[in-house]
Each structure stands twice: as structure tokens, then as C-alpha cells.
């Protein structure tokens, strides 16, 4: 082989090898995970796709989104006040802006109620807005199977799409108007300020170290993602239970029920919406006459029955939309019966009940 041919062949091989080296994927940069590291930063470093990211080509404003969530109105980008998102309800009528429990993976309603009472946060029917951008599904279980409502399709299409979920929630639950795209994007922008951080998950240091290693070595990524999922809910289960059967409702006693727990439900749930008619048409307070009124309607199907108000049984006067206020996971039947016990004793004894049942 002529020398020039050999040199040309060597040159071709060199260029080919250099090109292959250049095309090889560079190792990912190390990620030093701290308590303040955003959860999606870790997840995307592990190869997970962020389906809830903001649209770069859609105008949005965090402050306007916050106002829409908390007050139900804002000003548009021309400075004009928007119409209310809903005639009565805002997002915070049903959703907290805080973690419901020090451990986000805790779904148990009693643990959440006790934390709500000790922290002074409401105990509400909707899942918290804190961390919602870290979820992948929004209307789960019975909302996809037995939910009966004229707008059922809205929840189905919003199940895997956070923007459509925001729209559906405002229309179906808030009985509100259709939101403009910029309003939805602004709401989402504010929700992104409440993204979960690694410190929220309370993961052991050994788990965090293994995740850092996965990112650095680009190995066991799926395993690391699944381990992290154990520490927070990507979805919230939802069972649409009906009201407790009439025959079971009256089975209350100091042995079966907790006065203190019923008081928690009344203060952190009932009064959140009904105190001074904040989010409801019926005013509730802590007067004995109010408890006597509620007790009178325990077992009827009027709009004043706590059982219908909590579960919204089909066909009742309280059920104007076919929607339950609380799924079984958001409030248990035991908590409802504790509420009945509390109301019964307050109706009978008034404020004396607090002293009488202080150890129950």
C-alpha cells in the first residue's frame, strides 16, 4: 500500500474515532442535594419528565396567580379587574397552602386532623396545593369510575393534565366561570412557588446519598425515582362514600366516640367555611342554639344535615351538584361520628361540655 494511502487511512480512522468520542454522552454533573433542593430538580436529573412545567410562550404572573387563588380575582395585563372566578368559593376554601402533615406521605385522616388542630390549619376536602406541581394525577379512583355528574368529562380530561384540572376544579367544584389561559398559567406559576423540597420529605441521609450516586453515575435511576415516591403522594386516593346509614348514626357514646376529636372537626372543618358565612350560606358559631339546630337535622335529608353536608348523598336538597365534600380519605366515618357526639353534648350542656369532657 502506498505511503500516501496509509496516511489517508490513518487520518480517516483518527477522525472517525474522535467523532465517536465527541458524540458520547458526557457524564451528568454532580448534584449536591440539600434540604432546599427542589424535588423536580432531582427528578429531572434522574430522567423523569416534568409534565407540569410552565409554558415558555404563555404570559403569566405569580402575584396575579396568588390573587386568583386566594381572593378569586386579580387585574389583567392591561390593568383591568377580572370578574370573580366563582360566585362564592376561592381555591383556599377547599385547599390549604401548607403541608397537611410533617410527613407528606401521610394520607391517614386522623393523623392529618391532629396535625391541623395543633398547627391551626384547616382540615379541608381538597388535597393541599403545596406540592401539587409534584403530582401526576388529580381526579383518581372513583372520580374516574362512579362519579355521576354532568361535567364528569371535565374531570376525566383533567386527570392527567394540571391545567385542565385547574379549569375543571373551578367550574365543577367552584361553580365558577371558564378561566382564561393566562389566568391558568398565572395560577400554575404561583403553585410552582409551593413545589416540594427535598427537606420536606424527611428522607434518611443514606437515601439521599444513593440518589446523588445514581445521578452522578447515571445508574439505577428508576429505582431512585421509585424510592423518592415513597416519601410523598404523586396521587391522592379518592373514595366517594355516601352518608352513614341511618341505623348506624345514632350509635354514639363516650366509649365509642371522642368529644375532643369532634371538636377538632368542628373547628378545623365546619367553621372554616361556615364561620360568618365565609364560604357558605349557613352561618355556624359556638353557641348552644347553633348546636341544637344542627342536632335537630342529624337524621333528615335537608341541606342542614351534617351527613349530607359532608358526603352530599344523591337526591338530597344539599346535593345540588352530585359532589361529595369529603372523600373517605379526606374525612373518615369515625370522625363524622365524633363530630355528631361533640354537637350532641354541646347542644345538651352548652359550654359546660368542655369541662365535663376535657379528659375524653
Kindly report, residue by residue over 141-154, the tens digit of the pLDDT: 888 888 777 777 88
Q: Do 262 and 336 sit in the same domain of this protein?
A: yes
Q: Residue 163: which of 182, 149, 148, 184 has the closest Cα?
A: 184
* Helix runs in the chain, H state only: 3-23, 39-45, 62-70, 109-119, 142-145, 152-157, 162-168, 181-191, 205-217, 221-229, 246-249, 259-265, 271-274, 288-296, 306-311, 333-349, 352-356
pLDDT higher at 139 or 6: 139
Q: Do 233 and 254 sit in the same domain of this protein?
A: no
Tens digit of pLDDT for each residue in 28-45? 677 899 999 999 999 999
23 — pLDDT class (breaks 50, 70, 90): very low
In a domain, 21, yes or no: no
Q: Do 184 and 279 sit in the same domain of this protein?
A: no
| pLDDT on residue 289 | 98
What percent of the chain is predicted at pLDDT more than 90? 76
Here the cell at position 190 is 404561583
Q: Do 49 and 85 sit in the same domain of this protein?
A: yes
Q: Do 51 and 194 sit in the same domain of this protein?
A: yes
Calculate the average pLDDT of the chain.
Answer: 90
Q: Is pLDDT of 10 > 70? A: no
In a domain, 26, yes or no: no
The pTM (predicted TM-score) of the whole model is: 0.88
Question: Rounded CA gap, 133 and 50, in Å?
Answer: 9
Q: How many Cβ atoms from other residues are within 10 Å of residue 189's Cβ?
A: 19
Q: Residue 78: which of 92, 94, 61, 57 has the closest Cα?
A: 61
In a domain, 7, yes or no: no
pLDDT higher at 310 or 12: 310
Here the cell at position 282 is 349557613
Q: Do 224 and 326 sit in the same domain of this protein?
A: no
Q: Is pLDDT of 187 > 50? A: yes
* Structural domains of the chain, count: 2
Q: Do 97 and 205 sit in the same domain of this protein?
A: yes
Question: Rounded CA gap, 114 and 260, in Å?
Answer: 10
In a domain, 27, yes or no: no
- What is the average pLDDT across 41-69? 96
Q: Do 226 and 79 sit in the same domain of this protein?
A: yes
* Residue at grid coordinates 354541646: 346
Q: Do 69 and 183 sit in the same domain of this protein?
A: yes
Domain enclosing residue 194, as ranges: 33-238
In a domain, 3, yes or no: no
* Burial tier of 26 (Cβ tally within 10 Å: 0-12, 13-18, 19+): exposed
Q: Do 292 and 172 sit in the same domain of this protein?
A: no
In a domain, 209, yes or no: yes
| pLDDT on residue 183 | 98
Spatial contact of 272 and 124, defined as CB atoms under 8 Å apart: yes
Question: Rounded CA gap, 268 and 54, in Å?
Answer: 33
Phi (first) and psi of residue 66, to 5 degrees: -65, -40
| pLDDT on residue 173 | 87
Last residue of a domain, one of 238, 270, 286: 238
Amino acid at each position: 500500500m502506498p505511503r500516501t494511502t496509509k496516511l489517508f487511512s490513518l487520518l480517516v480512522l483518527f477522525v472517525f474515532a474522535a467523532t465517536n468520542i465527541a458524540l458520547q454522552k458526557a457524564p451528568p454533573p454532580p448534584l449536591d442535594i440539600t434540604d432546599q433542593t427542589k424535588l423536580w430538580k432531582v427528578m429531572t436529573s434522574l430522567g423523569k419528565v416534568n409534565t407540569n412545567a410552565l409554558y415558555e410562550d404563555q404570559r403569566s404572573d405569580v402575584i396575579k396567580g396568588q390573587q386568583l387563588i386566594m381572593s378569586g380575582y386579580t387585574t389583567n395585563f392591561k390593568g383591568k379587574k377580572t370578574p370573580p372566578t366563582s360566585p362564592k368559593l376561592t381555591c383556599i376554601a377547599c385547599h390549604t397552602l401548607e403541608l397537611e402533615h410533617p410527613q407528606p406521605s401521610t394520607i391517614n385522616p386522623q393523623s392529618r386532623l391532629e396535625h391541623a388542630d395543633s398547627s391551626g390549619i384547616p382540615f379541608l376536602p381538597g388535597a393541599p396545593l403545596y406540592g401539587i406541581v409534584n403530582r401526576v394525577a388529580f381526579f383518581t379512583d372513583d372520580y374516574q369510575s362512579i362519579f355521576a355528574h354532568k361535567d364528569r368529562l371535565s374531570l376525566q380530561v383533567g386527570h392527567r393534565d394540571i391545567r385542565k384540572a385547574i379549569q375543571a376544579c373551578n367550574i365543577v367544584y367552584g361553580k365558577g366561570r371558564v378561566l382564561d389561559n393566562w389566568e391558568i398559567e398565572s395560577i400554575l406559576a404561583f403553585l410552582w412557588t409551593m413545589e416540594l423540597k427535598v427537606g420536606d420529605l424527611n428522607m434518611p441521609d443514606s437515601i439521599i446519598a444513593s440518589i446523588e450516586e445514581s445521578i452522578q453515575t447515571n445508574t439505577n435511576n428508576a429505582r431512585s425515582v421509585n424510592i423518592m415516591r415513597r416519601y410523598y403522594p404523586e396521587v391522592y386516593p379518592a373514595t366517594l362514600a355516601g352518608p352513614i346509614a341511618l341505623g348506624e348514626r345514632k350509635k354514639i357514646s363516650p366509649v365509642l366516640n371522642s368529644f375532643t376529636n369532634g371538636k377538632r372537626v368542628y373547628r378545623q372543618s365546619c367553621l372554616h367555611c361556615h364561620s360568618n358565612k365565609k364560604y357558605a350560606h349557613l352561618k355556624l358559631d359556638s353557641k348552644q342554639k347553633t348546636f341544637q339546630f344542627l342536632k335537630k337535622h342529624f337524621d333528615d335529608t335537608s341541606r342542614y344535615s351534617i351527613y349530607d353536608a359532608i358526603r352530599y348523598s344523591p337526591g338530597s336538597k344539599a346535593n345540588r351538584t352530585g359532589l361529595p365534600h369529603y372523600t373517605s380519605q379526606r374525612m373518615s366515618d369515625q370522625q363524622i361520628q365524633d363530630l355528631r357526639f361533640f354537637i350532641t353534648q354541646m347542644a345538651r350542656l352548652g359550654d359546660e361540655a368542655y369541662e365535663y369532657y376535657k379528659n375524653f
